[in-house]
Amino acid sequence: MIKNLTRPFRYIHSVLRERSKSKERSSHWNSVRDSFITSHPTCAACGSNKKLQVHHILPFHLHPELELEESNLIVLCMNENECHLEIGHGGSFKCYNPRVATQAQRYLMEKDPIIRKSIVEVCKATREED
């Protein structure tokens, strides 16, 4: 029951966190984000088309020069799989996973819950602090 309550909270947290960054973002970010989601309409990790978010592979606050670079972006979801949190951030929004693209692709190809669990564990073990 508690897990059912934490998912909506995590999604709302991720949305509010993104909104709080709006003052730091480039004035072009919204159009780049919307265009990227249009051209990549599914989660790179699980294939979902719900609750999609654009994730920076290398965080924009550490690499502001890459904020608008498509090569630094990946679409991840915050639906029941929480791919943005689990694979993009290794389970903590205070961290990032520089290998997110490779690990997301592996999960997408396998679609196996056991492999997903191992990928999430690797993401947690190899995540880097923001």
**pLDDT (tens place) for every residue of the chain, 130 residues total:** 445 556 665 666 566 666 655 567 899 999 999 999 999 999 999 999 999 999 999 998 899 999 999 999 999 999 988 999 999 999 998 899 999 999 999 989 887 888 888 888 988 888 888 7
- Global pTM reads 0.81
For residues 29-56, b (16+ Cβ closer than 10 Å) or e, as one string? beebbeebbeeeeebbbbebeebbbbbb
| Dist CA 40 CA 10 (whole Å) | 23
SS3 96: strand
Q: Which amino acid is at 84?
A: H
Question: If DSSP codes are grouped into helix, strand and coil, which group holds residue 93?
Answer: coil
Question: Residue 90 has what DSSP assignment?
Answer: T
What pLDDT is recorded for position 18? 63
Segment 79-90, tens digit of pLDDT: 988 999 999 999
